[in-house]
């Protein structure tokens, strides 16, 4: 196998490869773009016009997605997977990956769309570098742009595999992309309704890619991800890479949700009235006192069918401590 196919090994060791560019026997070019970053380019005659960005490890302890990308890259380097798409593989936070931590000082996935410019430190610099790499990759005109940012969650979930679809004013969410996600094993999608500061929000809003944050189960250490079943996702990613996706994908059974409200932590007095082990997509009854903060700020559930995702009272002040979501329909899809 080509040395550049071992991007994860290089990243874990903190090493640069001796050769920055290598060719497979099929003529696929692999080019090291920097720490945790590798571009794969098919031969020109096989290129189908798809630019696919696959990122994982934005949170360093979310290892199942990292292992999946490592497996796909090994397949390309061995010649077992024959790309027709141009691909950028990114391991988002190498230092946190090496330490097995979610992040070191700052959550990298809250530092995009200008936020890194308001901060300092290695993770703000990394967010800036990820934006630069993505911008360069998606700079070629008249090509299809797709970004999957793969994650696992801090906590368990009543819907284990789901996606978050960013928002941009004047742009419709795509039914075709949701059908593709359904085929990849996503059981639900949260259709967001305002701009955000995540990596996929940046590529969707600024670079005009179709972009999704995929949540794939609960975070575990390397080598302990047997319970996370990614067979459908791996198969669909291989099909996208090789340009042989089957026709006839459907939305059957996929649950769609929209954001009702975000719960923002304003101070150290913030208190979230939920069990520490509550799962994502847990239902909340109307009238439930969800959270309290300074100045008698109270969040009371008013919505029918409300559920909570990403509850986390330990976030820094000013950041989201949870999202209240409600069921929605596919009527507004493009």
Interhelix angle 231-242/63-78, rounded to 10 degrees, is: 40
Question: 54 pairs with which residues across the strands?
Answer: 89, 148
Q: How many helices (H) and strands (E) does the chain have?
A: 7, 16
Q: Which of 123, 205, 215, 279 is catalytic?
A: 215
The answer to whether 221 touches 100, Cβ cutoff 8 Å, is yes
Give the list of residues 6+ apart from residue 32 with CB closer than 8 angstroms, or none.
4, 7, 16, 17, 20, 21, 38
For the beta carbon of residue 217, count every other beta carbon within 10 angstroms: 20
Instruction: Identify the H or E element spanning 244.
Output: none
For the beta carbon of residue 19, count every other beta carbon within 10 angstroms: 11
The answer to whether 34 touches 20, Cβ cutoff 8 Å, is no
Residue 262 counted as an annotated binding residue:
no
Residue 39 counted as an annotated binding residue:
no
Residue 59 counted as an annotated binding residue:
yes
215 catalytic? Reply is: yes
The answer to whether 71 touches 89, Cβ cutoff 8 Å, is no
Copy the structure tokens of residue 191. 């259709």
What span, in angstroms and rounded, lies between the C-alpha atoms of 145 and 70? Answer: 21
| Catalytic residue list | 215
- Binding positions for Zn(2+) are 59, 62, 151
- Binding positions are 59, 62, 151
């Amino acid at each position: 196998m080509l040395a550049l196919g071992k991007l994860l090994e290089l990243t874990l060791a903190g090493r640069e490869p001796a050769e920055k560019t290598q060719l497979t026997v099929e003529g696929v070019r692999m080019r090291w773009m920097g720490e945790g970053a590798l571009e794969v380019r098919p031969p020109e005659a096989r290129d189908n016009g798809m630019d696919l960005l696959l990122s994982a490890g934005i949170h360093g302890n979310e290892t199942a997605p990292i292992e999946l990308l490592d497996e796909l890259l090994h397949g390309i380097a061995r010649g077992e997977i024959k790309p027709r798409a141009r691909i950028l593989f990114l391991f988002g936070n190498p230092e946190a990956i090496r330490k097995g931590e979610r992040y070191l000082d700052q959550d990298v996935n809250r530092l995009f769309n200008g936020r890194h410019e308001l901060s300092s430190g290695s993770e703000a610099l990394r967010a800036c570098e990820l934006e630069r790499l993505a911008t360069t990759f998606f700079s070629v005109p008249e090509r299809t742009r797709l970004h999957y940012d793969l994650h696992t969650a801090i906590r368990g979930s009543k819907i284990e595999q789901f996606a978050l679809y960013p928002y941009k004013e004047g742009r419709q969410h795509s039914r075709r992309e949701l059908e593709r996600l359904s085929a990849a094993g996503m059981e639900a999608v949260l259709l967001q309704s305002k701009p955000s500061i995540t990596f996929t929000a940046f590529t969707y809003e600024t670079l005009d890619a179709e972009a999704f944050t995929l949540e794939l189960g609960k975070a575990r250490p390397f080598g302990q991800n047997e319970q996370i079943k990614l067979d459908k996702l791996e198969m669909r990613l291989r099909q996208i890479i090789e340009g042989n996706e089957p026709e006839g994908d459907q939305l059957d059974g996929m649950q769609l949700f929209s954001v009702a409200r975000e719960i923002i932590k304003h101070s150290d007095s913030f208190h979230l009235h939920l069990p520490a082990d509550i799962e994502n997509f847990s239902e909340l009854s109307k009238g439930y006192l969800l959270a309290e903060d300074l100045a008698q700020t109270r969040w009371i559930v008013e919505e029918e069918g409300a559920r909570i995702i990403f509850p986390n009272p330990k976030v820094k002040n000013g950041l989201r401590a949870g999202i209240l979501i409600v069921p929605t329909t596919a009527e507004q899809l493009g």
